[in-house]
Structures are given as C-alpha cells and as structure tokens.
C-alpha cells in the first residue's frame, strides 16, 4: 500500500517495523502474561520519540501527522496489539484533548513531558452508568471559592505508567451547569487508584477504577471553559482517537495474518503442505481482502483528517467496522491453527483476545453504530 503514503511516511513506517520486531515482539508474550508493560519498553519508545510523534514541535514533539502516527501504531500492533492500544491513548487521545481545548500554559506545562515520556497522561470518561451518555455521569466539579472540588468515580481507566489524568466531569457554578475536563495529578490528596482487574484481552494496559474525594482543582487545571457545556472538543479528540484505536485493531489482524501465513506454509497435513488445502487458501484470501479494505478505509480517513476534514461519523465508522472486521479476521485465522491456536505457547490466541477487547474499548460497536444511524436518519 505504498501508493497511499509519501517517501517520508514509508521511511518512518519501516523504522517503526524494525523497532517493533527488535524491541516489542520479544516482550509481547510477557506483556500479555504479566498484564503490564515493562518500564524499559516505555523508555525505548521515548528514545525513539514516538510518545511525541503527534505532538507539535512547539510543545516538544515531532509534529507528525495522523497518517504517520497510525503507520507507526500499525507496525507496533503487529507485534503487540495490547501495547499499541496503550500507546494510541498516550500518543493521540490525551495530547489531542489538550491541543483542542487546553490553554497555552497547559500545553507548555504538560505536552513536553508527555512527548519525552517523563509524565504520561490517561483519559478518564467511563462511569458505572456507562461510557457514552454523559447526562448520567456522576463525577462532579463544584465551585469552592476561587478553586473547585472534584468528587466521583470512574471505571476502566487505561493508565499504563500515566501519572496525569484528564478527567471528564459535570460542572456546577451558581446556577450554571456544564460538562468538561480537568487535569488531576495522581499525587493529589483524595485521588485513589484501585487495583486493576485481570482481563480477557488488551492486557498490557492496567485498566481499572479511579476515584476522587474532595480533590481541590485550581483554575489552571480546568481545561477549556467548563461552564459553556461546549463539547466540540470531544468531537475533535474522539475522531482522531477512534482512528488511532482502529489502526491497532488493523495491526492486530495483520500481525496474526503474518504468523498464520508462515504457519500454514510450514505445516504439513495428510502428507501435503497445509496451504494447499483449498479451505485454507480460500480463507487466507478472504482475510487478506478484508485487511486491504480496512487499510483503504483507515488511511483514507487519516488523510482526510490530515487535510483538515473533521468528521466524527467517519471516526465512528472506522472504529466500529475495523474493530469488528479485525476480530472476524482473527477468529478465522485462529481456526487454521487447530488446537495449537488455543495453546498459549504459539502466541496467537492473544491476537484473538486483543481484537475482541478492542470491539468494546473506546465505545462498543453498538454505541458507534447508533451514532452513525442517528446521523444518517437526520436525528441529530
Ligand atoms: C480494555 C478497556 C480499556 C478501556 N479504557 C478506557 C479509558 O482509558 N478511559 C475510559 O474512559 N474508558 C475506557 N474504557 C471503557 C470503554 O470505553 C467502555 O467499556 C465502552 O465504551 C462500553 O461502555 P460500558 O462498559 O459502560 O458498557 P455499557 O454502556 O454498559 O454497554 C453495554 C452494551 O450495551 C450496548 N450499548 C451501549 N451503549 C449503546 C448505545 N448508545 N447504543 C446501542 N447500544 C449500546 C453495547 O452492546 C454495549 O457493549 C475501556 C474499556 C476496556 C474494555
């Protein structure tokens, strides 16, 4: 698919592929088994400058576009979809929230530290009442003199080594009500990180509940104008982050395809190479078609984004369709491994599990398809 991308983007993708093979692939099984990313791997990502790839140069990053950033994430996802998923939150979603609505001081204070990997950020929206419907959210920011107080609880926050949290909350001052975002440092009095839960897939990300009891939020940690109820920043940040999430599902399917291709060429069944069995080659062809279709949609969408088109519908379409299709691919591929695919020792069932988890994280498929349906029907 080199016809989609520039020479510079191809060079960056190739460098990421070398990095993924050398540094990520050898740790992928351990990341899945131990349910955390080894800090030495994050240090190597920082050395490459990948944490700051999508952050503008003015704030300490490399200023790459979304297409380049997704090419890097696809290569890393081929080796470890779980680690790539964590990176997409740190590299795209969190910086974008600040870039979209943060003020100059906040960008200068936080983005260089994220770009260098010194202090990574997490994004926290989901609550026990659900992720998408913010009208039901209970986490509240209330005015207290010249500052604010934050109270509430969140679920499923993907944290990795993050120490700075971007927390979505309802807001109240006098009779004004709104919804917005505040910056909360993990060291703040009243901040609690609960033990993370073991999970089926996307295991390298220590995802878990966090809670806030009467945390003092000073005005410099309020992102944007909380009280206008203006949620444009969700659209700006979410569109790119849905693409960043979708590309890790695409990389997941490609990584499993590559491993399966090598396997069916090597294995002989009933005295002949397994890939000569027509159900096997037919399925490989079908999966490859789907991979090419996912790539075409994904990179067309990132290019439109890079050209300035803001389209949440396209972001939701990519997130829903690519995550579903990548899982279908991994499901089909797993079948070709027979019993060996179920065993951990072959290292392929983690792709299947990661692809499954990605259908729910960053909004379940149905949430996205209901957004799409409402737009198509003209109901919003
Ligand atoms: C591994 C992982 C990492 C995550 N990381 C983060 C994170 O870093 N930050 C964060 O804020 N959240 C995070 N999440 C939360 C994630 O965004 C939510 O799990 C997801 O959006 C679904 O919300 P829910 O779990 O509350 O399910 P529910 O809202 O209870 O939904 C259950 C089911 O109902 C259906 N449904 C839900 N909404 C709709 C709708 N609008 N229309 C039609 N059907 C619907 C879907 O089938 C859905 O699966 C993560 C989740 C996972 C699994």
pLDDT digits (tens, 9 = 90+) for 219-257: 999 998 765 655 666 666 778 899 999 999 999 999 999
Torsion angle (degrees, nearest 10) of CA 318, 49, 306, 228 = 80
CATH topology of domain 2-118: Butyryl-Coa Dehydrogenase, subunit A; domain 1 (1.10.540)
Distance in Å, CA 77 to ligand 1 centroid: 21
Report the b/e string of 136-166 with b at 16+ CB within 10 A. Answer: ebebbbeeeeeebbbbbbbbbbbbbebebbb
CA neighbor of 49 nearest in space, from 123, 112, 110: 112
pLDDT of res. 235: 65
Distance in Å, CA 37 to ligand 1 centroid: 23
CA neighbor of 220 nearest in space, from 70, 325, 107: 107
pLDDT of res. 230: 56
| Full 3-state SS string of the chain | CHHHCCHHHHHHHHHHHHHHHHHHHHHHHHHHHHCCCCHHHHHHHHHHCHHHCCCCHHHCCCCCCHHHHHHHHHHHHHHCHHHHHHHHHHHHHHHHHHHHHCCHHHHHHHHHHHHHCCCCEEEECCECCECCCHHHCCCEEEEECCEEEEEEEEEEEECCCCCEEEEEEEEEECCEEEEEEEEEECCCCCEEECCCCCCCCCHHHCEEEEEEEEEEECHHHEECCHHHCCCHHHHHHHHHHHHHHHHHHHHHHHHHHHHHHHHHHHCEECCEEHHHCHHHHHHHHHHHHHHHHHHHHHHHHHHHHHCCCCCHHHHHHHHHHHHHHHHHHHHHHHHHCCHHHHCHHHCCHHHHHHHHHHCCCCCCHHHHHHHHHHHHCCCC
pLDDT of res. 372: 92
pLDDT of res. 229: 54
Q: Which atom of ligand 1 is nearest to the CA of 89?
A: 8
Angstrom distance (rounded) from CA 205 to CA 135:
28
In the chain, domain spans: 2-118, 122-228, 232-376
**Pair 183, 168: CB distance under 8 Å:** no
pTM of the predicted model as reported, rounded to 2 decimal places: 0.96
Q: What are 250-274's pLDDT values in tens digits?
A: 999 999 999 999 999 999 988 889 9
Tell whether domain 122-228 is in CATH 2.40.110.10. yes
| Pocket residue to mutate for ligand 1, from 134, 193, 361, most atoms within 8 A of Cβ | 361
HSE-up of 261 (CA within 13 Å, CB side)?
Answer: 12
> Which residue's alpha carbon is nearest to atom 50 within ligand 1?
361
Q: Which regions in the chain score pLDDT beneath 50?
A: none
| Pocket residue to mutate for ligand 1, from 91, 156, 371, most atoms within 8 A of Cβ | 156
pLDDT of res. 33: 95
Distance in Å, CA 316 to ligand 1 centroid: 14
**Pair 309, 236: CB distance under 8 Å:** no
CA neighbor of 257 nearest in space, from 204, 322, 332: 332
Distance in Å, CA 358 to ligand 1 centroid: 10
pLDDT of res. 236: 65
pLDDT of res. 4: 74
pLDDT of res. 131: 78
Distance in Å, CA 86 to ligand 1 centroid: 16
Angstrom distance (rounded) from CA 256 to CA 85:
16
> Which residue's alpha carbon is nearest to atom 2 within ligand 1?
361
Angstrom distance (rounded) from CA 216 to CA 203:
32
Number of residues that make up the chain: 380
pLDDT of res. 171: 86
pLDDT of res. 111: 98
pLDDT of res. 133: 76
Distance in Å, CA 23 to ligand 1 centroid: 31
> Which residue's alpha carbon is nearest to atom 6 within ligand 1?
157
Residues with CB under 6 A from ligand 1: 89, 123-126, 130-132, 156-158, 202, 207, 357, 360-364, 366-367, 370
CA neighbor of 171 nearest in space, from 125, 215, 137, 146: 137
| Pocket residue to mutate for ligand 1, from 364, 365, 373, most atoms within 8 A of Cβ | 364
Distance in Å, CA 363 to ligand 1 centroid: 5
232-376: CATH number: 1.20.140.10
Q: Which atom of ligand 1 is nearest to the CA of 158?
A: 8
Distance in Å, CA 165 to ligand 1 centroid: 19
> Which residue's alpha carbon is nearest to atom 52 within ligand 1?
361
Q: Which atom of ligand 1 is nearest to the CA of 363?
A: 21
pLDDT of res. 318: 97
* Alpha-carbon separation of residue 305 from 28, 111, 142, 183, 238 (angstroms): 31, 21, 36, 26, 12
> Which residue's alpha carbon is nearest to atom 23 within ligand 1?
131
pLDDT of res. 227: 57
């Amino acid at each position: 698919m080199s016809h989609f991308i520039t020479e510079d983007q191809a060079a960056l993708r190739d460098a990421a592929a070398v990095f993924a093979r050398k540094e990520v692939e050898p740790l992928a099984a351990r990341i899945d088994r131990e349910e955390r990313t080894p800090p030495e791997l994050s240090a190597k990502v920082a050395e490459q400058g990948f944490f700051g790839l999508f952050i503008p140069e003015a704030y300490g990053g490399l200023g790459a576009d979304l297409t380049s950033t997704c090419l890097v994430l696809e290569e890393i996802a081929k080796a470890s979809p779980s680690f790539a998923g964590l990176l997409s939150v740190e590299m795209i979603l969190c910086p974008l929230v600040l870039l979209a609505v943060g003020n100059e001081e906040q960008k200068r204070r936080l983005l260089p530290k994220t770009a260098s990997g010194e202090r990574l950020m997490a994004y926290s929206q989901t609550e026990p009442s659900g992720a998408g419907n913010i009208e039901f959210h209970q986490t509240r920011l209330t005015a207290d003199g010249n500052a604010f107080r934050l109270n509430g609880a969140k679920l499923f926050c993907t944290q990795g080594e993050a120490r700075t949290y971007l927390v979505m909350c309802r807001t109240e001052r006098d009779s004004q009500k709104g919804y917005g975002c505040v910056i909360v440092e993990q060291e703040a009095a009243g901040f609690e990180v609960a033990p993370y839960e073991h999970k089926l897939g996307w295991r390298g990300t220590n995802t878990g509940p966090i809670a806030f009891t009467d945390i003092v939020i000073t005005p410099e940690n309020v992102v944007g104008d909380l009280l206008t109820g203006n949620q444009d920043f969700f659209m700006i940040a979410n569109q790119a982050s849905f693409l960043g999430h979708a590309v890790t599902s695409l990389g997941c399917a490609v990584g499993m395809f590559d491993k399966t291709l090598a396997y069916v060429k090597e294995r002989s069944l009933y005295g002949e190479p397994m890939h000569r069995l027509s159900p096997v080659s037919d399925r490989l062809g079908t999966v490859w078609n789907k991979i090419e279709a996912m790539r075409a949609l994904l990179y067309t969408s990132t290019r439109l984004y890079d050209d300035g088109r803001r389209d949440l519908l396209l972001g939701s379409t990519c997130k829903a369709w690519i995550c579903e299709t990548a899982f279908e691919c991994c499901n089909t591929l797993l079948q070709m491994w027979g019993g060996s695919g179920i065993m951990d020792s072959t290292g392929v069932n983690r792709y299947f599990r990661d692809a499954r988890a990605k259908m729910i994280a960053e909004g379940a498929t149905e949430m996205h398809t209901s957004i799409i349906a409402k737009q198509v029907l003209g109901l919003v």
